[in-house]
Structure formats: structure tokens, C-alpha cells
Amino acid sequence: MTAITDFVSYEARGTVGVITVDSPPVNALSQGVRAGIQGGIKAAVADDSVNAIVLACAGRTFIAGADITEFGKPPQEPGLNDVIATMESSTKPVVAAIHGTALGGGLETALGCHYRVAVPSAKVGLPEVKLGILPGAGGTQRLPRVVGVQKALEMITSGNPIGAKEAHKVGLVDQVVEGDLTEGAIAFAKKVAAEGRPLVKISEQNDKLAEAKKNPAIFDDFRKKNARKFRGFEAPENCIKAIEGAVNLPFPEGLKRERELFMELMVGEQAKAQQYFFFSERLANKIPDVPKDTPLIDINTAGIVGAGTMGGGIAMNFLQAGIPVTIVETSQEALDKGIGIIKSNYAATVSKGRLSQEAMDKYMSLLTGSTNLEDLKDVDIVIEAIFENMDVKKEVFGKLDKICKQGAILATNTSTLDVDEIGEATSRPEYVIGLHFFSPANVMRLLEEVRTKKTSPTVMATCMALAKKIGKVPAMVGVCDGFVGNRMLAKRGEQASQLILEGAKLEDVDRVLYDFGFPMGPFAMSDLAGNDVGWRIRQGRGVTSPVADAICELGRFGQKTGDGYYHYEKGSRTPQPDPIVEEIIVKAARDAGINRREVSDEEILKRCIYPMINEAAKILEEGIATRASDIDVIWVYGYGWPIYRGGPMRYADHIGLENIYNDMLKFKAEHGDEWTPAPLLEKLVKEGKGFKDL
Ligand code: TC6
């Protein structure tokens, strides 16, 4: 075996030269890997003992893409396009051997090979769009030449990978290899050489482009169909333009067009924000005082207390991960209802063709219902998801403590209550943790994990790993009212309510936040979630909110009652402004002695967003969140903050903390002390720093 670079080696195995990339963790295309592959091809071409070449990877995966840590740094030779050109023009057939994931530049490298084989579990895709860019090493030019324009549009603008079987079906993989991959790839390469099969240069294959050439409307149709999904994002449009280039330009020109469109994105704020977010999400997995090698508790079974909307949604996550669930309710009727809802949710997904009946049956077979808490005695984790009442929760935890086996984790899904206090209701507070799922719990990716003063490192590490297993993105936070997400959300809500009293139209407040990139504004959101939820919480706390209370007193609970802040026609989810609500607002403003005025969109945005940022500064100062970037993860995955703005902390740095600080002082002069900048914000401004510097 010859080392070409530190990360790539070359070895002749009989008549086949095998180039192996070995650059943990994911064989990303750093300079050493690029140079190694190019050197490996040259070595194999020069090696008279071989007549075919295999490109394979050691470790858990084929090349998972460009090395994202190199983005933004001066480019180093050789560029990936040069490496791919060297492969494509090799005089001996090159076969890519794919396991794990061939993503981004990794798939582009494979597309530069003459043939591709893969193990059945392999996945291939071009996820660059998720990083705010496009495949910049020929991916937008080669993929449509292999799978056709329609499929390439879907794969490149979604960024979602496809499995080996599908890749084989669409011609992206030439053979699925059962058994040892490298051996299978060598056998395939030998066959190609022996049969004198052509050296397939994808860049010269134009047949699959013909249909789109005849029917250019395919692009505008695709744009129209996906307008909602692409709203606010810059990268998908450039991906589409690059694929148009593949159809309309000769390959070398198309490649140039791709490069221009790539560079346009790469220097933009969206790409920077999305790449920042990629690393933020991974960083959130790491808890500074919980070592990486902390032993984990095996979670093979779960119990859920409460079969309401949250309990049912939480159960679905576990079932889908293959973990048996026992769900407990107080009455048979409530239990049947809860299980019925889970079943009908799955049935709806089956009828839409997004889940097989077989998978649904498997999930349902893992679910057991019970009306007896005792049935949770053997489970590895219990998640309590009953209504928000401290006394009742303490009682349940006291019982669970007696029933559940030693070593079982006792978690609460509370979104408001003090998890330390809940832990103290047991004899094992170190096993108690908050697992705050977001509604709908089977859909929303965020899992806000709440550590108490006593939660043990093992329990924290186990719950972080568990989150990944059930498809969630976790962020660990400390105990405070509303934790991180809802505590910040409350600040936005207060301002939204105040703005409509001062004269802003509620549909304007919603529009400004929608245009900022949120899925919907605060009033439409409240109508969707149910206005009665907040009303009950306010009543419990003895606080009032004049407009919100008045609409609830009229039974206007939102979409479910057909009326809320807006009116909804029967069967429709489209909000329509309602004069009755306008009257309520005008009266409330009059009662409060407020002179109503015009409020600009700019003021609406600043007044909704800046108090959240200010609250986040306090949260950081109190150590409730570990890092600013964790707060961004919470807001993107839990509240629909547009990922292309990176999250509230990243956005604050982008706007400039000094600008935010100065605006806050202006609002303070107009509206009072609630606008006092947090000490941390003030400190960062004085030091000329941003949240990124913490
Ligand atoms: C591209 O290719 C553009 C081409 C244009 C050419 C001009 N670079 O996710 P995990 C690190 S764009 C650097 O926990 P998994 C990651 O930070 C790229 N580092 O593992 C983490 O480090 P830590 C297109 C990377 O098994 C560690 O690897 N490619 C990269 O759950 C493990 O990661 C993508 O967008 C990278 N490309 O999932 C693919 N990738 O341990 C991005 C990962 O120090 N990657 N790391 O925290 C993924 O989707 C996933 O990592 C995975 C593995 C599916 C490959």
C-alpha cells in the first residue's frame, strides 16, 4: 500500500488499483483528500499491472462532501473540478464504491467516475441547498444527465438523499452490491475491463436532457409548484438556474454558469447563516460538563403518562424508532380516544402514500395501552405528559418513583413548571429531567431538554443520545420560567399585543413576521394553537391581557371554533380580518388611554424581535442556555425561525448589537423600563463584540 497523502492510499489488488480515502470522521474533501484522489488516479493510470480502478472509503461512510470547515478560506489546489476532470479522463475505468453516504462533493466525485456501485444501505444526494449553496463541482450539470431533469430538480432543490435501491432504479448507481463492498467493486471493475465496456463520461451524455429541451416550461412549472417551500430562500432558485444551464448550454459553459451561480450564493448572508447553523446544531449535542465517554442507560422501552395530544405525539416518535411504548391514562375512555388518534394519524399518512400499511401495523404493534401506572414498573424511561399543574405532577412523580425500577429515567414534558421541584417529589432527583417536546410532537424536530440542579450526567447524556435516536434535535437548557424558547416567545407576544393597541393592524403584525420568514405571525399562530391555552395560563397566574382575554370571553378560541383573532370560513384555514376584533382592540386601547397611530413595518419588526434578543442575553447571562448558538437551534427547530437567518442570536450579530442597543434605548424613552438593555448586551456593545464571541 502506498500513501499518496496523509488521507489517501493506493494499492494494486490483482489487476485493479484501489484508491482508499481514510479521513475521519466523514472523509470530507479537504485539500489532502482532493490531492490524494488525484494522485491516486495518476498512480493507477501509470501502474501497468492494473487495467481498472476502484475509489473506496474507509470508516463509516463514502465521502460526505466538501470540507465545510474550509468554506470561506482561500481555496487550495487542486480544486474539486480538477480532480473530477482527472478521474473522468482516466484511460482506465474508474468505479466508485459507495457505503454510508455519498453527499455533495462526495456524490459529485462519484459522478466523475465512469461507474458506481453501492451497498443496499448507502444513501446518495446533493444536500448543498441546505447549506445555502448549490453543488459547485459539476453536480447540477452531471446529475440531470444521469437521472433526467425532473428528478435532478427534485433532488438538488430539496437536498434530500435517496437510497441505493432507488439510485439504482434511476440509473445513478450501476449495481447494488451485497456482501463486501470493496470485493464487489473490484469484481465489477474487472468485468468492465474484461468486457471492454465504455468509459462513461457523464459530461458527454446528453440524451436525458432532450425532454426538457423540448419542454422548457418544466422549470417554471417546478418553480410554481414549490413557491411556498422555497419562500425566502435564495439557493433553490440558483439551483434551478444552474440546471437550466445544463439543458441549454454545452457542458463546459454549463460548468461556468454553475460556478457563477455558486459564487453568488457563497458570498451571501444566507449561505453563511446556514453553514453556521450546520455546526450550531452539532455543537448543541455537546454539554461542557458531561464528558463524551459518559456511560449511557440502555433505553429499550418507554412509558408515557397521558394520552392527550402531546402524549400521543411523543409516543409516535418512540414507535417509529422501534421502541415499545406503554401509554397510561386515568380512564379507559381517554385511553381509547388517545390511541384512536395515534392510529388515525398513521392511517392518514398511509392514505397519502407516505407510510406503508406494514410500517403502520408494526408501529401500532409496539403500543400498549393501560389505565394502571403499575404497568410502567419495568420501562427504561417514563415521560409524563399530563396537564400543567404542579400538585398533580408531583403526585404522579411520587407514585412513579415508587413504581419504576431503579435506574429508570423519569422525565416531564412540562413547558412551564419548575423541574427541580418536580424532581424533589421523588427519592431520585438525579434521574429526573425535563423533555420538552413541541407541538405537534411527532413533527417538530426540537427537543428542549431541561436539566435540574441534580440531573446526573448519565441521564443527560442518555437523553441527548435518545433524542437523536427518535429523530429529534436536542438542546440542553436550565430551569427557569418558560425555559429558553417560551421565555423569549412571551416577550414577542407582549409586544405584538401592545402594538395592536397602539394602532398596528393585527394582520400587519402577522404579515411582517411572515415576510421575515416565520411560517405564520403570532396572532395566526395563536388561533392555530388555541387561544384558550394562553388564557388558562394567564388565569392561573392571575395576569390579564385585555384583547386576548376579551376574545376568549367571546369563546373565540381560534381555528377550532371558527373564530379567534381572525374569522375562518367553515373548513378553511385562511384567516380573514374580522371587524368585531377591531372593535375589541379599539375599545381596549381607549380604556387604556392609548392614542392610536400608524405603526411602520420596521417598528413592528424591531419591537417583536429585539425584546427576544434582549431576553436571550439574560438567559445566557443566567447560564440557562450554554451557548448563543443553542438558542438559535431552539428557535429554528422549535418555532420556525427562518434557517437562512441562522437564528435570533446570529441575526442579532448580523444587524449589529450596537444598532439593537441604540434602538432599545429609543424604545425605552418612549415606552419605559421594559426596554432596558440586558447587562450582557450592554457589555458586548461596549467591548465591540457579538454573541459569536462568547
Ligand atoms: C459540498 O459538498 C459542496 C461542494 C461544492 C464543491 C466546490 N465537512 O453529523 P455528524 C463533521 S457541501 C466537515 O454528527 P452523522 C461534523 O461536524 C457539503 N465536517 O454524524 C461532526 O463533527 P464533530 C455537502 C463535517 O453520522 C462529524 O463530522 N455535504 C462534514 O450523524 C460527524 O457528523 C453535507 O452537507 C463536512 N462536510 O451524520 C453533508 N460533515 O464530531 C453534511 C460532517 O466534531 N454531513 N462533519 O461534531 C452530514 O449530513 C452528516 O454529517 C452525515 C453523518 C450524514 C455525513
User: Please, which pLDDT band fits residue 367 given cuts at 50, 70 and 90?
Assistant: very high
DSSP code string of 203-255: GG--GGGHHHHH-THHHHHHHHHTHHHHTT-SHHHHHHHHHHHHHHS-HHHHH
Can you give the three-state secondary structure of 375-443, one letter per residue?
HHCCCCEEEECCCCCHHHHHHHHHHHHHHCCCCCEEEECCCCCCHHHHHHCCCCHHHEEEEEECCCCCC
What is the phi-psi region of residue 161: left when phi exceeds 0, alpha when psi lies from -120 to 50, beta otherwise? Answer: beta
Which of 68, 108, 283 should be mutated for ligand 1, with most atoms under 8 A from CB? 68
Q: How far is the CA of 592 from the centre of ligand 1 (A)?
A: 54
Ligand 1 pocket, CB under 6 A? 25-26, 28, 61, 64-69, 80, 101, 103-105, 127-128, 131, 135-137, 282
pLDDT digits (tens, 9 = 90+) for 463-492: 999 999 999 999 999 999 999 999 999 999
Q: Tell which atom from ligand 1 comes closest to the C-alpha of 69.
A: 13
Task: Report the predicted TM-score, pTM, of the whole model to 2 decimal places.
Answer: 0.92
Going by CA atoms, what residue is nearest to atom 5 of ligand 1?
136
Q: How far is the CA of 66 from the centre of ligand 1 (A)?
A: 8
pLDDT digits (tens, 9 = 90+) for 32-70: 999 999 999 999 999 999 999 999 999 999 999 999 888
Q: How far is the CA of 282 from the centre of ligand 1 (A)?
A: 10
pLDDT digits (tens, 9 = 90+) for 393-442: 999 999 999 999 999 999 999 998 999 999 999 999 999 999 999 988 99
pLDDT digits (tens, 9 = 90+) for 623-655: 999 999 999 999 999 999 999 999 999 999 999
DSSP code string of 515-560: HHT-SS-HHHHHHHH-HHHHHHHHHHHT---HHHHHHHHTT--BGG
Report the alpha-carbon angle 656-659-664, nearest 5: 125
DSSP 202: G
Radius of gyration of the chain (CA): 28
Q: How far apart are CA 82 and CA 310, in angstroms?
A: 52
Q: How far apart are CA 401 and CA 432, in angstroms?
A: 10
Q: Tell which atom from ligand 1 comes closest to the C-alpha of 67.
A: 8
Q: How far apart are CA 148 and CA 152, in angstroms?
A: 6
Going by CA atoms, what residue is nearest to atom 47 of ligand 1?
282
Q: How far apart are CA 254 and CA 259, in angstroms?
A: 9
Q: How far apart are CA 661 and CA 686, in angstroms?
A: 10
State the ipTM, two decimals.
0.92
Sheet holding 52-57, edge to edge: 2-3, 8-13, 16-21, 52-57, 94-98, 115-118, 175-176
Q: Over 90: is that where the pLDDT of 264 sits?
A: yes
Going by CA atoms, what residue is nearest to atom 14 of ligand 1?
282
Q: How far is the CA of 63 from the centre of ligand 1 (A)?
A: 9
Q: Which three cell numbers stand for residue 333?
A: 375512555
Going by CA atoms, what residue is nearest to atom 45 of ligand 1?
64
What pLDDT is stored for residue 537 in this prediction?
82
CB contact at 8 A, 64 and 37 = no
Going by CA atoms, what residue is nearest to atom 55 of ligand 1?
64
pLDDT digits (tens, 9 = 90+) for 62-96: 999 999 888 888 889 999 999 999 999 999 999 99
Q: Which three cell numbers stand for residue 21?
A: 480515502
Q: Tell which atom from ligand 1 comes closest to the C-alpha of 279.
A: 17
Q: Tell which atom from ligand 1 comes closest to the C-alpha of 283.
A: 47
Q: How far is the CA of 398 from the centre of ligand 1 (A)?
A: 43
Which residues share a beta bridge with 162?
A: 124
Q: How far is the CA of 280 from the centre of ligand 1 (A)?
A: 12
Which of 26, 80, 103, 239 should be mutated for ligand 1, with most atoms under 8 A from CB? 26
Tell me: cis bond preceding 577? Omega within 30 of 0 counts.
Answer: no
Going by CA atoms, what residue is nearest to atom 53 of ligand 1?
26
Q: How far apart are CA 53 and CA 14, in angstroms?
A: 11
User: Please, which pLDDT band fits residue 319 given cuts at 50, 70 and 90?
Assistant: very high
CB contact at 8 A, 451 and 288 = no
CB contact at 8 A, 172 and 147 = yes
Tell me: cis bond preceding 25? Omega within 30 of 0 counts.
Answer: yes
Q: How far is the CA of 67 from the centre of ligand 1 (A)?
A: 8
Distance of CA 212 to the CA centre of its chain: 32
Q: What contacts 176, CB < 8 A, 6 or more positions away?
A: 117, 118, 119, 120, 164, 165, 168
**Residues with active-site annotation:** 108, 128
Torsion angle, CA of 376/382/388/391, rounded to 10 degrees?
Answer: 60
pLDDT digits (tens, 9 = 90+) for 121-168: 999 999 999 999 999 999 999 999 999 999 999 999 999 999 999 999
Tell me what the mean pLDDT of segment 179-198 comes to.
97
